[in-house]
């Protein structure tokens, strides 16, 4: 690898990573690719002051406005389809008969009417609750009302349920989250089920039962809530890289790890950092849930969120989650196996990330073979941000990229047909490979 213009020889040791177990996915037929949409929490939080801030409070008006913009500004056309309410939509008390009640002033027409509005625009409607006595913001939780609340969501034509975990005991979650999922499925209404189950258990020192989580949830949170900062984003990137041996095998069609919302277009990320989040979320096969004010987002950030080629990586039908395959001196390489597949060989998306803070773009040079791309027929390589196609490159071709500080270069390498394989080369190798780079002189 060539970093900062200094030639360095890379020695690569490739070992095949084999999943130690296979677990059954939640068979509700949903979320075959990571969900995409818009979510209120990171940008609008729990702003309930509609008297003094009517444009930004959690209200019927806000969600209808964002619904309109998702359609009119082209987000729906590239795959964003869910409009998801988060916390703070409720009255502080249930109805006399035990039903959840939307805040009567902020949601005067009720949530069935709002759901109908979202559906009329060709989108889907999501809601938030909590497996606890209260939600994180202190509104009624679902404990004691699991069946009632699942049926309520179904009558409101909800398509997506996020279930948080405040004010509950983590040990009860192994029973409670599957139980609520059962009630959701019993309604007959298809509803994507987003769980916060593992993150609360991790916080409490428990080791989550991922076999059960994968069986009962469509997606789940593993780590901290994202905040509007590069430091927060870096902590999530590090967590997913440092714990990938545990995390990666659980992802696949219908069941996804969720590193939390896209904060692109808000206040805390630069343009380069925003490109990094979008690229790595695609490598991670992450849900793409924007949390941004679509009324005021700048065009360059909108373009990142609507990058069709990177969205295609995120939505790749194989459903493999990518891995960090190299980390040294502030440079990281992440790779994800994707379609198309030719005989024994997968295509790959590869992201080069510059975590340095010295202010100078870094040159990174590596052969395709050093990235684990061995197909003798080569790969058609394309830069997904710069929209540059480098043509078909062989495994011995050295590619050189210039990566800006806190920025990313993401390439797509589509496998090309090559010469026929010998009889002893017919077994397909596992697409996950761990690379141990030993740059000379370091």
Tokens of 387: 């929209």
For 6-15, 118-127, 291-300, 370-379, which range has the lowest pLDDT when averaged over its residues?
6-15
- Given this model, what pLDDT does residue 26 score? 53
Strand partners, 348: 337, 413
Residue 27 has what pLDDT? 67
Handedness of CA 38, 42, 43, 47 (dihedral sign): positive
> DSSP state, 148?
H
- Catalytic position from the list 86, 87, 130, 164: 164
Exposed e or buried b for every residue in 151-166, given b needs 16+ CB within 10 A? bbbbebbbbbbbbbbb
Query: Using 50, 70 and 90 to split pLDDT, how confident is the model at 177?
Result: very high
19 has pLDDT over 60: no
The yes-or-no verdict on residue 137 having pLDDT over 90 is yes
- Tell me how crowded residue 382 is: count the other CB atoms within 10 A of its CB: 18
Cα→Cα distances 60→40, 261, 342, Å: 12, 21, 49
Q: Give dist(CA 220, CA 381) in Å, integer.
A: 33
- Range list of H helices, 243-372: 244-247, 271-283, 299-305, 308-314
Q: In the beta sheet, which residues pair with residue 133?
A: none
Residue among 68, 174, 225, 383 flagged as catalytic: 225
Under the banding of pLDDT at 50, 70 and 90, the label for residue 7 is: very low
Confidence of residue 344 (pLDDT cuts 50, 70, 90): confident
pLDDT-above-70 percentage for the chain: 88
pTM: 0.91
Decide the pairing of beta strands 124-130 and 160-164: parallel
**Domain extent listing, the chain:** 12-20+321-437, 36-314
Q: What is the pLDDT of residue 14?
A: 31
Sign of the alpha-carbon torsion through 178, 183, 188, 191: negative
Q: Is the pLDDT of residue 3 over 80?
A: no
Give 418's pLDDT tier (boundaries 50, 70, 90): confident
Q: Which helix (H) or strand (E) holds 386?
A: none
- At 60-90, the pLDDT tens digits run 999 999 999 999 999 999 999 999 999 999 9
Report the percent of the chain where pLDDT is more than 90.
87
d(CA 130, CA 141): 5
> Catalytic residue at 164?
yes
Homologous superfamily of the 12-20+321-437 domain (CATH): Golgi alpha-mannosidase II (2.60.40.1180)
Is the domain spanning 36-314 CATH 3.40.50.970? The answer is: no
Interval 26-45: pLDDT, tens: 568 999 999 999 999 999 99
The answer to whether the CB of 275 falls within 8 A of the CB of 263 is no
């Amino acid at each position: 690898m060539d970093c900062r213009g200094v030639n360095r020889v890379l020695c690569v040791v490739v070992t095949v990573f084999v999943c130690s177990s296979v677990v059954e996915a939640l068979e509700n037929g949903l979320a075959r690719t990571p969900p995409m949409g818009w979510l209120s929490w990171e940008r609008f939080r729990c702003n309930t002051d509609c008297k003094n801030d009517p444009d930004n409070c959690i209200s019927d008006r806000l969600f209808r406005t964002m619904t309109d913009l998702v359609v009119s500004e082209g987000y729906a056309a590239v795959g964003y389809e869910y409009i998801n309410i988060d916390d703070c939509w409720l009255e502080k008390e249930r109805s006399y008969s035990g039903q959840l009640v939307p805040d009567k002033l902020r949601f005067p027409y009720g949530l069935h009417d709002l759901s109908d509005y979202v559906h009329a625009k060709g989108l889907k409607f999501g809601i938030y609750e909590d497996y606890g006595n209260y939600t994180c913001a202190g509104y009624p939780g679902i404990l004691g009302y699991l069946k009632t609340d699942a049926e309520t969501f179904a009558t409101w034509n909800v398509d997506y349920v996020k279930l948080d975990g405040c004010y509950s005991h983590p040990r009860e979650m192994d029973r409670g989250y599957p139980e609520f999922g059962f009630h959701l499925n019993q309604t007959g209404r298809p509803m994507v089920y987003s769980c916060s189950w593992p993150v609360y258990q991790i916080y409490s020192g428990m080791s989550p039962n991922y076999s059960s989580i994968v069986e009962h949830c469509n997606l789940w949170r593993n780590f901290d809530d994202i905040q509007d900062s590069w430091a927060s984003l870096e902590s999530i990137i590090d967590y997913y890289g440092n714990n990938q041996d545990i995390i990666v095998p659980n992802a696949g069609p219908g069941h996804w790890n969720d590193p939390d919302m896209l904060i692109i277009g808000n206040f805390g990320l630069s343009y380069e950092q925003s490109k990094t989040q979008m690229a790595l979320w695609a490598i991670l096969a992450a849900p793409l849930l924007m949390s941004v004010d679509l009324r005021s987002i700048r065009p360059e950030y909108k373009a990142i969120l609507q990058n069709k080629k990177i969205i295609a990586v995120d939505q790749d039908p194989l459903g493999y989650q990518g891995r960090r395959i190299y980390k040294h001196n502030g440079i990281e390489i992440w790779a994800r196996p994707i379609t198309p597949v030719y005989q024994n060989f997968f295509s790959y998306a590869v992201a080069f990330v510059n975590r340095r803070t010295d202010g100078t773009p870094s040159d990174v040079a590596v052969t395709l073979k050093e990235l684990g791309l061995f197909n003798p027929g080569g790969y058609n390589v394309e830069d997904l941000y710069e929209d540059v196609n480098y043509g078909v490159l062989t495994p011995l071709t050295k590619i050189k990229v210039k990566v800006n500080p806190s920025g990313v270069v993401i390439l797509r390498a589509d496998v090309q047909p090559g010469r026929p394989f010998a009889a002893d080369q017919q077994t397909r190798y596992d697409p996950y490979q761990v690379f141990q780079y030993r740059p000379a002189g370091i």
